[in-house]
Structure 1
Amino acid sequence: MTHPASPDFTLAELAERLGAHLVGGDEARRMTGLATLKEAGPDQVAFVANRSYLKDLATTRAGAVLLHSKHADVCPVARLELDNPYLGYAQLSRLFDPSLAPPQGGVHPTAVVADDVAMGDRVEIGPNAVVEAGVELGDDVVIGAGCVIGAHTCIGAESRLHPNVTVSYGVVIGKRAILHSGCVIGADGFGFAHDGGRWHKIAQLGGVVLGDDVEVGSCSSIDRGALDDTVIGNDVKIDSQVQIAHNVRIGDHSALAGCVGIAGSTRVGRNCMLGGGVGLSGHLTICDGVQVTGMSLVTNSIHEPGVYSSGTGAMPNAQWRRNAVRFKQLDDIARRLVRLEKRDQEG
């Protein structure tokens, strides 16, 4: 179960994998890693995706530089030319990440795995992991040390769970998912009924469904549904310390930055972006193509694509206190303005 050392590739192999045009340099020269223009050595690839770093290009010692052809004249070393260098950088980063090497397969002797677990080829289960009855693990799944996988959960091929992930019972996880340490998938939603004196727990009978290519950051929580499932679409990216409540649905290709909180039964569309610290109230509908800037609170549904913000920027406390008094007067001012406009129209 030991992963191999960091991989290395020839320039020709990198050009083929990226779909890039290799100019200059020895096609057979091997590259062992990825680094910045300033720090890269002769066996490393650097990249230019932001004009502010062009000043470092002329003096780089990199073995090759990934860049757009419009910057080729400044480059003193071999070039991997690509229309979208930042996307190429993303692809390179995965190629050189030793943790993403193909799994070798095997179950650690300290792991506890139920007899009826269905395992595909090359499944890895790390130390002290627990995999309960009726679980299905696809090909090349990696279960890190200390993970707990609840009964009758299905995890799709090539998914990776970092150490100490908890997946409750009856969860469905698609292919190529990445779950980072400390995240919890399928805990009970926050459901209680009040009798006037105390709270009574409502059993959460739904599940959680994650689509393909979903990534969930460390210490994030996705609660199971009360009756229906909580559903996260394909290619959704969720940062660390995010709370997604029961029965939430998030559409394909959406991204949530750190500390986002989404209350129960809210629907978020496709291709949405929620900045850090955004809060969505419950039972809302957010249409496709919405971007909400950081620290905004959304209390009403959004039906038109676009960029939305709320809140006020920081200011000196004395100024804030004066403004807070005026906030309380806004309704009265609005009513007086309506009366004045009506009087002008009648006069």
Structure 2
Amino acid sequence: MMIRLGELLERFGGQLTGDPGIEVTAIAPLDRAGASEISFLSNSKLRALAAQSQAAALVLAPADEPEVAATYTGARVVTPNPYAWFARAAQFFVAQRTPAPEPGVHPTAAVHHSARVDASAHIGAHVTIEAGARVEPGAVIDAGCYIGREAVVGEDTHFFANVTFHARCVIGARGIVHSGAVIGGDGFGFAVDGGSYIKIPQTGRVLIGDDVDIGSNTTVDRGALDDTVIEDGVKLDNLIQIGHNCRIGAHTAMAGCVGVAGSAHIGKHCTFGGAAMINGHIEIVDNVHVTAATMVPNSLTEPGRYTGYFPVARNAEWERNAVLVRNLSTMREKVRALEKAVKALDAQRQNE
């Protein structure tokens, strides 16, 4: 498929230097883009590479344009956020090349007679849809998915193969849930009696807003009594655990292997690096950014960037530092004793 560069600018904006009639077929990396492809520069450190690119057109920020233009001979699309422009254009090209799933229910799917599946939805092979469930217009449910009783899948939401979406859970419009994700499994709730564990029934739901992405093998537990809530625009990477009764604020993003313990409430527009661990029953305000592998044991009440780990070091150095950390409490007591002794000496001198 070919499209004129001018048509892309009509869709996605930007200021063009060059011929709007240039026809392009795809987006490619700076070092591999050819004469019919677009590339983009979102990192100023790569200006030199961009300046030598063979791409038909280059998408870049105003700050990078003068230096690149000195040697780059192709068309230039200047926009404040080249990465976002690239993302939208990439969606467009993928949509043009990917055939839309045909509406209808595959003959091998098991759909309960009381379930409501819109005629425009696609239900793939070996899908199970339980009693009272609802699948809205344009939804795509790929092969092997399970949708529990009275669950709701919103308009244009896409479940990739083998997603499990348990009873009474709800997801809004334009969601994406990748293979292996489990939404609405039981939370980790047990009472202890005499050294044994008594299971607490998990009777809440998982409520997911619009435009939410959930990665492969991520799990979101249902609430114990109240609901677990994932607000609009949240982005969850692969292998994330969201515990029961958590609330994740709108447009918060988490990288792979993040763990959020039960009843943690996280604000809007937060980010969490890979393998960050969030304690349960804490509050994190809006616009908090937690770096990778950081442990958050207590509430964070102010926006900002937080880090709680020791960077990698040679093993011998790490062991020395670990010994110092273990001895900090003893050193603190010694310092306090010395402070008291110094104060006593000062008082004695003043009385002489």
Q: What TM-score comes out, normalization by structure 2 length?
A: 0.90
Residues of 2 paired with 1:260 and 1:35: CA distance? 31
* Structure 2: gaps of 5 or more residues: 348-352
Which residue does the alignment assign to 1:206? 204
- TM superposition shift of 1:8: 4.5
* Residues 30-64 of structure 1: per-residue CA shift (max 9 Å, x gap): 42211112222232211111223322334433232
How many percent identity over aligned positions?
41
Partner of 2:16: 22
Shift of 1:293: 1.0
What's the CA shift for 1:212? Answer: 1.0
What are structure 1's unaligned runs of at least 5 residues?
A: 1-6
Please say if 1:131 is aligned against 2:129.
yes
Give 1:151's aligned residue: 149
Secondary structure in structure 2 of the residue aligned to 1:307: strand
Amino acid at match of 2:162: N
Asked if the contact 2:65–2:78 (Cα under 8 Å) also holds between the matched residues in 1, the reply is no
Q: Show the counterpart of 2:350.
A: none
* Paired AA for residue 288 in structure 1: D
User: How far apart in 2 are the matches of 1:100 and 1:149?
Assistant: 25
Contact 2:144 2:161 in 1 (8 A): yes
Pick closer, same or farther for the CA change 1:283–1:162 going to 2, 3 Å.
same
**Further displaced range: 110-119 or 52-61:** 52-61
Q: 1:90 and 1:26 mapped to 2: Cα distance? A: 20
CA contact (8 A) 1:150 1:169 kept: yes
Which aligned pairs between 1:75-94 and structure 2 lie closer than 5 A? 75-94=72-91
**RMSD of aligned residue pairs (Cα, Å):** 1.9
Question: Does the 8 Å CA contact 1:214/1:234 hold for their aligned counterparts?
Answer: yes
Aligned mates of 1:237, 1:342 — CA distance in 2:
54
Return the alpha-carbon distance in structure 1 between the equivalents of residues 315 and 30 of structure 2: 44
Cα offset, 1:102, TM superposition: 4.8
1:71 equivalent among 46, 65, 76: 65
CA contact (8 A) 1:145 1:164 kept: yes
What's the secondary structure of 1:57's corresponding residue?
helix
* Cα distance in 1 between the residues matched to 2:135 and 2:98: 18
Provide the C-alpha distance between the structure 1 equivalents of 2:253 and 2:259, rounded to a whole number of angstroms: 13
Q: Which segment drifts farther, 309-318 or 98-107?
A: 98-107
Is 1:246 the equivalent of 2:240?
no
Number of matched residues? 340
Decide which moves more: 34-43 or 182-191: 34-43
Quickly say closer, same or farther: Cα 1:231–1:101, change in 2 above 3 A.
farther
User: Which runs of structure 2 are paired with 1:1-347 in the superposition (5 Å)?
Assistant: 8-27=2-21, 29-69=22-62, 70-71=64-65, 73-74=69-70, 75-98=72-95, 102-345=100-343, 347=347
Kindly indicate whether the alpha-carbon contact (under 8 Å) linking 2:285 and 2:300 is maintained by their aligned counterparts in 1: yes
Structure 2 residue identity aligned to 1:16: E
Query: Larger C-alpha radius of gyration, 1 or 2?
Result: 2
In the TM superposition, what is the alpha-carbon distance from 1:103 to its structure 2 partner?
4.5
Output the CA distance in 1 between the equivalents of 2:131 and 2:244.
25
